[in-house]
Amino acid sequence: MIPKDLLYTEEHEWLRLQENKVIIGITDFAQKELGDVVFVDLPEVNLVLEANDVLGGVESVKAVSDIYAPCPGRIAAVNEALTDTPDLINEDPYGEGWIVELEIEEAPKNLLSAAEYEEFLNKGE
């Protein structure tokens, strides 16, 4: 499942670009690879990040996966619901399972379209 209206990174994150904001989550492929998500390490609101900074982590029973900032920005909001129900990431990775909202000045570069991400996944198999 790779929604057409989102952009993607090779770290299996999805991005929903809005004017000066970007909402970030992990892809369906990523949540399946991880298995049952049992903990999400969320950043503090207002944290300022450089591109490729680790902004948080998603942990399943067996694995830890870092989440990276796709571009410089400031954390505008975090999905507090993940604190008590981290498995929202498994149930609805592109919706209720969103992780953070990043306020940005410039749109991030080098992102993959849905078709490119799909191709990237197929290459990896």
| Among the residue ranges 3-11, 18-26, 56-64, 93-101, the one whose residues contact another protein (CB under 8 A) | 56-64
Size of the residue set binding another protein (CB under 8 A): 13
Q: What is the 3-state secondary structure (H, E, C) of the chain?
A: CCCCCCEECCCCEEEEEECCEEEEEECHHHHHHHCCEEEEECCCCCCEECCCCEEEEEEECCCEEEEECCCCEEEEEECCHHHHCCCHHHHCCCCCCCCEEEECCCCCCCCECHHHHHHHHHHHC
By CB under 8 A, tell whether 35 contacts another protein.
yes
* Sole binder of another protein in the list 61, 77, 81, 115 (CB under 8 A): 61
By CB under 8 A, tell whether 91 contacts another protein.
no
By CB under 8 A, tell whether 57 contacts another protein.
yes
* Sole binder of another protein in the list 44, 46, 62, 105 (CB under 8 A): 62
Q: Pick between residue 32 and residue 51 the one whose CB is nearest to another protein.
A: 32
